Amino acid sequence: MNIYVSNLNSSTTSESLQELFAAYGEVTSAKVITDRETGKSRGFGFIEMSDDSEGQNAISKLNDTDFEGKTIVVNVARPKPERSNRGYNNRGGYNRNRY
């Protein structure tokens, strides 16, 4: 199960997030998302848990709780939406024939 966690403290690490969720079951991965340019936390992350029932339990127990000084929001992660090319071709140029 893939879990989305938002409103994270800027000092939260992937390791501390994994420790938090490990109390509810086996965590297969934990990742705090960072800005590409600055390397600073963007305030959200993802947890993968191997067992769906453990994941649901973690969501229900941790949603709207305090973690490292902030009230976190925990939900089932939604699939990433497909991105359109917005009129650009695959080589980076603008596709005039699109319209």
Helices and strands (DSSP H and E) totals, the chain: 2, 5
Residue 93 inside a domain? The answer is no
Give residue 67's pLDDT band: very low, low, confident or very high (50, 70, 90).
very high
What's the order of all strands across the beta sheet hosting 2-6? 27-34, 41-49, 2-6, 70-76, 65-67
Which pLDDT does position 88 carry in this prediction? 55
Which pLDDT does position 96 carry in this prediction? 57
Instruction: Return d(Cα 46, Cα 14) in angstroms, integer.
Output: 9
Kindly state the helix (H) or strand (E) to which residue 53 belongs, with its residue range: helix 52-62
Give the total number of structural domains in the chain: 1
- Higher per-residue confidence, 92 vs 17: 17
Residue 68 has pLDDT above 70, yes or no: yes
pTM: 0.79
Residue 10 inside a domain? The answer is yes
Strand, helix or coil at 99?
coil
Give residue 81's pLDDT band: very low, low, confident or very high (50, 70, 90).
confident
Residue 28 inside a domain? The answer is yes
Residue 97 inside a domain? The answer is no
Which pLDDT does position 80 carry in this prediction? 76
Residue 81 inside a domain? The answer is no
Specify whether the CB–CB gap between 48 and 32 falls below 8 A: no
| Enclosing domain of residue 19 | 2-76
Q: Any idea what the CATH number is for the domain that residue 34 is in? A: 3.30.70.330
